[in-house]
Amino acid sequence: MSKKPFYLTTPIFYPSDKLHIGHAYCTSVADTIARYKRLMDYDVLFLTGSDEHGQKIERKAQENGVTPIAYVDKIVASFQQLWKKLNISNDDFIRTTQERHRKVVQNIFQKIYDQGDIYKSAYKGWYCTPCETFWLERQLVDGKCPDCGRPVEVLEEESYFFRMSKYQDRLLKFIEENPEFIQPVTRRNEMINFIKGGLEDLCVSRTTFDWGIPVPFDSKHIVYVWFDALVNYITAAGYLDDREKYKKFWPADLHLVGKEIVRFHSIIWPVILMALGEPLPKQVFGHGWLIVEGDKMSKSKGNVIDPVALIDEFGPDAIRYFLLREINLGLDGNFSRQALINRINADLANDLGNLLHRTLSMVGRFRDGVIPAPGEKAAVDEELEELCNKTVKNYQATMDKYDITTTLKDVWVLISRTNKYIDETSPWALVKQVDQASRLDTVLYNLAETLRTIAVLLSPVMPTTAEKIWQQLGMPDDLWTVRICDITTFGGLKAGIKVNKPQQIFPRIEEREESESAESSTSVQETPKIETLPEVSIDEFAKLDLRVAKVLAAEKVAKADKLLKLEVDLGGEVRTIVSGIAKHYKPEELVGQSVLMIVNLKPAKIRGIESRGMVLAASIDDKLAVVTVPDMPAGSKVK
Ligand code: ME8
């Protein structure tokens, strides 16, 4: 049986400037959906590209003293590099300056003109060049563009007009009959109101500059850049040159666009298609904006975030994960460096990184690196199995709604539960009991199987990380040939596979503030070679108040040859403590030293002296040294 097709697109971006993190957000969402659909065994066509014509680009090129094509060539190359760096799996990249596109735009323009839906008249009104949009006097807000608030220019020129008004009722009926066509519902309501306000015929040609596709029957005119741009979606689907492909992929399943251009995609574009007698796309989804410290990104505000620098610093998957986890599709979301670091440390380095590291190191140490076949089962194993199966099921339900944020939250519930499963089953204790070998096999198998499932579930969002996990688990098949049916029932992993040595997938980012606001944390990195006390969480560790204390005075405690009584300054408070270090230090050796102390230890009476705190010391066999922190002022905190 042939696979079901799925065609999705991003907007084609203007190469007037380099792309910022907002563009990277949109394309990461689209890429995640494309990869998810491939996982669901669809035949996917994923398109992105560049919108290269228009007055804005022509002016930019002039300012830079180069031809428009030289200008866009350079910027478009930077788009393509960015998508490569971000691991975007687009199947095609369309440039509106390509010949395949020019042919389609001219063909369509001619066709609509021939049927009488394009006519010549004169335009008099306003134009916003940054948005490439025509406005009527009454639509302006304080004399400025109602969309972007920038100044508009007066335009008076001979133009061709597209009879949009003729299609108003048909369009409204279509939108009302197809509730899924415009999403989310807030955008749908906006569009319905807009259409009810009346559709004007649209000016679809310009004569006062050259950078565009000539109108085929009147070369003085060039095609309006939005008419030109929207048509890209059928050019790439093979409208003129590959009818079989076109039949397969058109109508598109999803046009993912920013909320500010939903109007072009759900009004102008459908009317062009209606005029052509072509089916309308199944859905236009308007995503929200990325806001930086409360403001929309813009060059003039100086808050534009360069995705290339971020990827170089943190890697592509951390950026993709952050954007998809933090921003609910359809709503605006905030970008902040600190929030990004918190996510990397808590979710990626800690939760996910530890699970992989602990699992692989235990399979390595306890079973010579070979995943055992499962043995005896206990209730805790069944609970993990059930959660794993349920997560895979819910995953499909939430991903089908493009609710990627909820999907990721659910996967992290599974990751956290699996970390807890390690603590509950204590494989390091099972390995010491001969009669528990079968239980240990089950635990190790279950951990590897859950990680295999997690790698597949995360592959649409974090393709590089998923591949790393896959490789470290020693999986023999190519991750990208795996389909959802391979993970729907727990237990699909074959025993006997040799895992590789664990390697860190996300290093912790050490920046000053991050430990203060780091969110959930499960456990500290396992150290394979030494026996440790049971793990504590970062929150538990944070309960210990460790500070630098300056020793003001020290003396021996009468009739106790191990004890010294110390007076210490904690930067504003002097305390007395008793410490069992008399065999290693003479009192005078300690005076003036800055030592480390726990200051919130419960007070204890030792030989009648109340000791309020404890000095930290390192010791092995009969050696001991107090931990000193020279040059740190008394009262400094240890974090
Ligand atoms: O509008 N947050 O191109 P464009 C999130 N060429 N997404 C953002 C964003 C932000 N702060 N800023 C931009 C055009 N975007 C036309 C499209 S399609 C036939 C023609 C994303 O370069 C968002 O997807 O101005 C938005 O719709 C798109 O970039 C606009 O890109």
Find the 10 Cα to ligand 1 centroid distance in Å: 9
Residue the block writes with tokens 């904690």: 570
For position 152, what pLDDT does the model report?
Answer: 94
Residue the block writes with tokens 């204890």: 604
Find the 449 Cα to ligand 1 centroid distance in Å: 40
Task: Answer for the pair 495, 445: CB distance below 8 angstroms, yes or no.
Answer: yes
231: closest CA among 194, 268, 195, 180? 268
Residue whose CB lies within 8 A of the most ligand 1 atoms, among 9, 23, 94, 289, for a mutation test: 23
Q: Does residue 348 sit in the same domain as residue 456?
A: yes
Domain count, the chain: 2
Residue 144 lies in a domain: no
* DSSP 8-state assignment for residue 542: H
Q: How far is the C-alpha of 133 from the C-alpha of 224, rounded, in Å?
A: 9
Find the 272 Cα to ligand 1 centroid distance in Å: 21
Task: Answer for the pair 597, 545: CB distance below 8 angstroms, yes or no.
Answer: no
One-letter amino acid of 234: I
One-letter amino acid of 256: L
Find the 164 Cα to ligand 1 centroid distance in Å: 24
Q: Does residue 480 sit in the same domain as residue 346?
A: yes
For position 483, what pLDDT does the model report?
Answer: 98
Residue whose CB lies within 8 A of the most ligand 1 atoms, among 28, 51, 95, 301, for a mutation test: 51
CATH assignment of the domain containing 549: 2.40.50.140
Domain end, chosen from 419, 453, 486, is at 486
Q: Does residue 342 sit in the same domain as residue 450?
A: yes
Residue nearest to atom 21 of ligand 1 (CA): 23
CA 438 remoteness from chain centre: 40
Residues near ligand 1 (Cβ within 6 A): 11-14, 22-23, 25-26, 51, 229-230, 257-258, 260-261, 289-290, 296-297
Residue nearest to atom 8 of ligand 1 (CA): 22
Q: Does residue 476 sit in the same domain as residue 589?
A: no
Task: Answer for the pair 407, 398: CB distance below 8 angstroms, yes or no.
Answer: yes
305: closest CA among 313, 316, 297? 297
For position 529, what pLDDT does the model report?
Answer: 55
Find the 8 Cα to ligand 1 centroid distance in Å: 16
Find the 22 Cα to ligand 1 centroid distance in Å: 8
Q: How many CB atoms lie within 10 A of CB 209?
A: 14
DSSP per-residue string spanning 474-496: T--S-GGG--GGGTSSTT-SPTT
Residue 91 CB partners (closer than 8 Å, separation 6+): 44, 45, 46, 47
Residue nearest to atom 26 of ligand 1 (CA): 258
Q: Which atom of ligand 1 is nearest to 230's Cα?
A: 19
Residue 545 lies in a domain: yes
- Domain hosting 354: range is 337-486
**pLDDT (tens digit per residue) in 412-448:** 999 999 999 999 999 999 999 999 999 999 999 999 9
Residue nearest to atom 3 of ligand 1 (CA): 13
**pLDDT (tens digit per residue) in 476-503:** 999 999 999 999 999 999 999 999 999 9
Q: Does residue 435 sit in the same domain as residue 545?
A: no
Bridge partners, 157 (sequence order): 123
- Both tokens of 213, joined, read 């596709």
Residue nearest to atom 7 of ligand 1 (CA): 22
Find the 261 Cα to ligand 1 centroid distance in Å: 8
Domain end, chosen from 443, 466, 486, is at 486
Report the alpha-carbon angle 350-352-358, nearest 5: 85
Q: Does residue 357 sit in the same domain as residue 433?
A: yes
Q: Which atom of ligand 1 is nearest to 269's Cα?
A: 19
495: closest CA among 361, 363, 354? 363
Q: Does residue 542 sit in the same domain as residue 445?
A: no
Residue the block writes with tokens 């251009």: 261
255 burial level (CB within 10 Å; 0-12, 13-18, 19+): buried
Calculate the alpha carbon distances from 67 to 63, 77, 211, 386, 418 in Å.
10, 16, 10, 62, 58
CATH assignment of the domain containing 391: 1.10.730.10
Residue nearest to atom 16 of ligand 1 (CA): 13
Residue 552 lies in a domain: yes
Calculate the alpha carbon distances from 9 to 47, 180, 191, 358, 544 in Å.
5, 17, 20, 40, 52
pTM: 0.81
Residue nearest to atom 30 of ligand 1 (CA): 13
Task: Answer for the pair 426, 414: CB distance below 8 angstroms, yes or no.
Answer: no
Q: Does residue 482 sit in the same domain as residue 341?
A: yes
Find the 104 Cα to ligand 1 centroid distance in Å: 23
Q: How far is the C-alpha of 486 from the C-alpha of 294, rounded, in Å?
A: 43
Find the 5 Cα to ligand 1 centroid distance in Å: 26
Report the alpha-carbon angle 197-202-208, nearest 5: 140
Task: Answer for the pair 362, 425: CB distance below 8 angstroms, yes or no.
Answer: no
Residue 504 lies in a domain: no
The answer to whether the bond into 184 is cis (omega within 30° of 0) is yes
Find the 329 Cα to ligand 1 centroid distance in Å: 15
Find the 20 Cα to ligand 1 centroid distance in Å: 10
Q: Which atom of ligand 1 is nearest to 258's Cα?
A: 27
Q: Does residue 589 sit in the same domain as residue 463?
A: no
For position 605, what pLDDT does the model report?
Answer: 84
Q: Does residue 365 sit in the same domain as residue 427?
A: yes
Residue 309 lies in a domain: no
Q: Does residue 341 sit in the same domain as residue 464?
A: yes
What are the CB-based long-range contacts (under 8 Å, 24+) for 533-539? 535/423
Task: Answer for the pair 281, 233: CB distance below 8 angstroms, yes or no.
Answer: yes
Residue whose CB lies within 8 A of the most ligand 1 atoms, among 13, 18, 57, 226, for a mutation test: 13
Low-confidence ranges of the chain (pLDDT < 50): 513-528
Residue whose CB lies within 8 A of the most ligand 1 atoms, among 257, 296, 326, 329, for a mutation test: 257
One-letter amino acid of 144: K
Q: Which atom of ligand 1 is nearest to 296's Cα?
A: 11
Calculate the alpha carbon distances from 392 to 399, 402, 447, 473 in Å.
11, 15, 16, 19
Residue nearest to atom 29 of ligand 1 (CA): 23
Residue 311 lies in a domain: no
Residue 423 lies in a domain: yes
Residue nearest to atom 24 of ligand 1 (CA): 258
Find the 257 Cα to ligand 1 centroid distance in Å: 7
Q: How far is the C-alpha of 407 from the C-alpha of 410, rounded, in Å?
A: 5
Q: How far is the C-alpha of 275 from the C-alpha of 248, rounded, in Å?
A: 21
For position 634, what pLDDT does the model report?
Answer: 86
Angle between helices 437-458 and 404-425 (to 10 degrees): 170
Q: Which atom of ligand 1 is nearest to 13's Cα?
A: 22
Residue 343 lies in a domain: yes
Residue whose CB lies within 8 A of the most ligand 1 atoms, among 261, 262, 267, 287, for a mutation test: 261
Q: Which atom of ligand 1 is nearest to 291's Cα?
A: 11
**pLDDT (tens digit per residue) in 522-539:** 233 334 456 666 677 666
Cα-Cα-Cα-Cα dihedral sign, residues 78, 81, 82, 88? positive
For position 520, what pLDDT does the model report?
Answer: 32
Find the 316 Cα to ligand 1 centroid distance in Å: 20
Residue 177 CB partners (closer than 8 Å, separation 6+): none
Q: Does residue 342 sit in the same domain as residue 453?
A: yes
